[in-house]
């Protein structure tokens, strides 16, 4: 059960488009909360022809100066049946390992006509987590063992008869702690309590939301639980987080602790309650957000897990960020 606090937004940047394919390319689940379905790998793909996909990707060439956006050349339309990736240029830095956070710039190109759809080079790079919960096996296989500085190309179908290419430049790796660490803050009255339990996938004690009696607050509540010593989160931050999410009655709808080392998100693509509540919090913190419906999923709800009109409670460990 995995549900990201992402809302539907237009695919204007490479990072937004990438988020859809990375999340949808992972092992089966009920889908990401608000992920941009227009960029996602369809759940029912035609039969995958790996050999043909590899051959198609081999026709793509790339030219780039260090630190600059690459230019891809191929004869459109380029089409693949499943995610496929390859190293375009080796790096010379630290070897990339599994369960690490890598910082990357990325350019997105439409395989149908070769037009560029987005780029992080004009803005901020994003964070990718090198684990099976966060990216398709094709990309994970070529990233793990490569070195920082490498340029990697991924192609994947995003709709019927539509393929997108992502050209990455790996800039660095981040150290990601297993859990938030900081100065304890006092919990204000009337909010859910936070207990702890062993995590099956990490060495940490993961938070557990314990509901409280009484009606939910009508306004957004931002309650720091642990105050970290890192830099403040900004509106365009890319973050690595661990998240537990529950309805006001305590019914859990999300727990990334069950999946491993953390989840990468772009804050500008999150629900309004996250965007308002996390800006100004420091890296390394643990924060509780109580998000009213109008700053979350409103009168529509989200699938079977979040009914219409739900107040949501999140406990978020902000593990790393840029």
Torsion of CA 262, 264, 279, 177, to 10 degrees: 30
Distance CA 106, CA 110 (A): 13
The structure tokens 């710039």 sit at 105
Q: What integer pLDDT is reported at residue 259 of this predicted model?
A: 84
What domains are there in the chain, each with its CATH number? Answer: 14-174 (3.10.50.40), 183-321 (3.10.50.40)
Cβ contact 262:202 at 8 Å: no
Q: What integer pLDDT is reported at residue 294 of this predicted model?
A: 98
How confident is the chain (322 residues) per 10-residue block, as mean pLDDT? 38 46 42 36 61 98 93 97 96 95 96 94 91 90 97 94 95 94 94 90 86 96 98 96 97 92 90 98 98 97 96 98 95
Q: Which residues pair with 315 in a beta bridge?
A: 244, 288
Q: What integer pLDDT is reported at residue 21 of this predicted model?
A: 54
Closest listed residue to residue 138, CA positions, set 216, 192, 55, 82: 82
Cβ contact 161:105 at 8 Å: no
Q: What integer pLDDT is reported at residue 105 of this predicted model?
A: 95
H or E stretch at 51: helix 50-58
Residues in contact with 158: Cβ distance below 8 Å, sequence separation at least 6, in sequence order: 17, 20, 21, 38, 39, 40, 41, 42, 164
From residue 46, alpha-carbon distances to 50, 80, 82, 134, 280 in Å are 12, 10, 9, 23, 45
Q: What integer pLDDT is reported at residue 19 of this predicted model?
A: 54
């Amino acid at each position: 059960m995995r549900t990201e606090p992402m809302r539907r937004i237009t695919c204007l940047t490479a990072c937004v488009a990438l988020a859809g394919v990375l999340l949808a390319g992972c092992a089966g689940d009920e889908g990401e909360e608000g992920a941009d379905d227009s960029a996602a790998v369809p759940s029912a793909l035609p039969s995958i022809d790996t050999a043909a996909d590899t051959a198609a990707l081999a026709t793509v060439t790339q030219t780039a100066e260090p630190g600059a956006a690459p230019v891809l050349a191929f004869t459109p339309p380029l089409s693949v049946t499943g995610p496929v990736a390859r190293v375009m240029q080796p790096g010379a830095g630290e070897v990339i390992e599994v369960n690490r956070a890598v910082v990357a710039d990325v350019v997105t190109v439409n395989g149908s006509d070769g037009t560029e759809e987005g780029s992080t080079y004009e803005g901020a790079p994003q964070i990718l987590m090198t684990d099976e919960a966060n990216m398709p096996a094709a990309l994970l296989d070529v990233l793990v063992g490569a070195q920082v500085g490498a340029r990697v190309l991924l192609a994947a179908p995003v709709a019927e008869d539509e393929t997108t290419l992502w050209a990455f430049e790996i800039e660095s790796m981040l150290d990601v702690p297993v859990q938030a660490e900081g100065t304890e803050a006092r919990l204000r009255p009337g909010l859910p309590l936070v207990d702890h339990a062993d995590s099956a996938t990490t060495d940490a004690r993961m938070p557990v939301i314990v509901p409280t009696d009484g009606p939910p607050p009508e306004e957004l509540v931002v309650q720091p639980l642990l105050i970290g010593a890192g830099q403040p989160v900004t509106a365009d931050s890319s973050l690595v987080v661990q998240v537990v999410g529950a309805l006001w009655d305590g019914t859990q709808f999300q727990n990334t602790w069950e999946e491993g080392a953390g989840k990468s998100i772009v804050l500008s693509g999150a629900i309004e309650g996250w965007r308002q509540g996390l800006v100004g919090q420091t890296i390394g913190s643990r924060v509780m957000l109580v998000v009213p419906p109008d700053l979350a999923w409103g009168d529509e709800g989200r699938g079977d897990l979040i009914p219409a009109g739900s107040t949501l409670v999140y406990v978020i460990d902000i593990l790393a960020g840029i």
